[in-house]
Structure 1
């Protein structure tokens, strides 16, 4: 078999080239050899802490496979603290409460009530044609305004020194001070006002005098019971009976049918047992 000439030539060149490379490395100066023995680059891999802020899972917008878009922005809180969202901690002071049926109220006099430990006074404002609910304390000497009266100008008047208040809780008149004096217009002379409304023949109130709840009625309304506005459904007037007991006794009362014929006489049809 005849070997091509170019193959023989390549066999001779390759050993010669390798020998030349060895000779270059051997005869190279020590400084060059030290430089050649170093790695070309030095890569350092270190674990860095991420600067991304973790967003709580509960704050992320829920989505599914059919959602048109995905957002990881935290949900904005509403001014009222997201009233419709039920948190783990129930806030008793972020709900409407039935205060008193209108049939038990007299527009000519204020009425005192205690709800959730709050002493409040209910009175009729002839200028706005609405029931108002105030803190039952005069800012002057903390006398109960429920012991006062409605004066001839339709203002709520304290029974102690005659201070008079309007529908917004502002002081209208102090008998012992000049009519336009600083005492009358001072914020310290104002009464705390609770948001209130009339629905189903009942006065409802929101148990907070914080100004941010002033317009709470436009965002959250009391529960509506249409049957209470139906004359064919309600045959008798409502009434309020104050009994000093807690929710535990109330629940026990609700599962006790034997009291209905006597405590609610005339309200529900009941056949007494034979004698």
Structure 2
């Protein structure tokens, strides 16, 4: 017995030597303490924790009601978003071609000859229609061979004549005469493909304005939307000067240039006084 006990003790000591030092407290705790499994617990619901559903409005309880599978496949109705005053609509996209643009001051136009301009990337021709006593703005391309109508002339009947083959057009864009067409042949000049695209235009404040779209739905756009009006330009008590100048860049470059006044004494040297270094 003594021998067996010694062997057991030696084997226990040998086992303890093989256990890492950090695991010793856990091993001793596992041997000294056993889990108590004989204790029994009884769980009773407290009346103070029971909720009386009648204390809550019915509308709040229905939020937690389960829905059937057939109903779950239907998308839930989303409430409409209220539009606040001054809020920015992220879906709004500015349409540059749905506004009036000034072409030229009337004082710089010549009724005897057409004038070509490029506005919003569009090549247009301005000419005086003496038959309708109004300025007209056309697409600067003859429908025949796409020659620039701004290089043409106003004939003796007051029509815009192409410089390439002499096709003549009226104020509505319709072709009035084709010199090469036989007189006894079909009226080819009346075909739709022989017409020139016309831009809506008007004169306001002695400035010629045009709407940059030849779509037929904008034919009467002037009755729905007018160009910006400056009452001071029609007031004789105000003095002003209008001039026209073509510059080879867009409005975004011009605005940036006007917001940089520090370049004036150097880029426009001699016009203004330059501050001398001290």
With the length of structure 2 as denominator, give the TM-score of the two structures: 0.63
What's the counterpart of residue 234 of structure 1? 239
Residues 256 and 163 of structure 1: is their aligned pair in 2 closer, same or farther, counting only changes over 3 Å?
same
- From 160, 178, 184, the counterpart of 2:189: 184
| 1:129 shift after superposition | 1.1
What is the aligned partner in structure 2 of residue 138 from structure 1? 142
Q: CA deviation at 1:230?
A: 2.0
2:247 corresponds to 1:243? yes
User: Cα RMSD between the aligned structures?
Assistant: 3.4
Q: How does 1:120-159 map to 2 (within 5 A)?
A: 120-159=124-163
Q: Which residue of 1 aligns with 2:202?
A: 197
Q: 1:195 to 1:46 in 2, by over 3 A?
A: same
Is 1:47 the counterpart of 2:58? The answer is no
Indicate whether 1:104 and 2:108 are aligned.
yes
Gaps of 5+ in 1: 1-44, 64-84, 264-269
**Could you tell me how far 1:118 is from its partner in structure 2?**
0.6
Q: Distance in 1 between matches of 2:222 and 2:111?
A: 23
1:182 is displaced (CA, Å) by 3.2
Give the Cα separation in 1 of the matches to 2:217 and 2:78.
Answer: 28
Shift of 1:246: 2.9
CA displacement 1:3-28 (0-9 Å, x = unmatched)? xxxxxxxxxxxxxxxxxxxxxxxxxx
- Name which of 74, 89, 92 aligns with 2:96: 92
**Are 2:243 and 1:220 aligned?**
no
For structure 2, which runs of at least 5 residues remain unmatched after alignment? 1-67
C-alpha distance 243-185 of structure 1, shift in aligned 2 (>3 A): same
Greater fraction of residues in helix = 2
**The structure with more radius of gyration:** 2
CA drift at 1:271: 8.8
SS, match of residue 113 in structure 1: strand
Partner of 1:3: none
Deviation string for 1:152-192 (max 9, x for gaps)?
Answer: 11100000111000111000000111357331111010000
**1:141 to 1:51, Cα distance in 2 relative to 1, 3 A:** same
Change in Cα spacing, 1:149 to 1:219, as seen in structure 2 (3 Å) is: same
In 2, the alpha carbon distance for the partners of 1:246 and 1:273 equals: 28
SS of equivalent to 1:48: helix
Alpha carbons of structure 1 residues 116 and 175: separation in structure 2 relative to 1, 3 Å = same
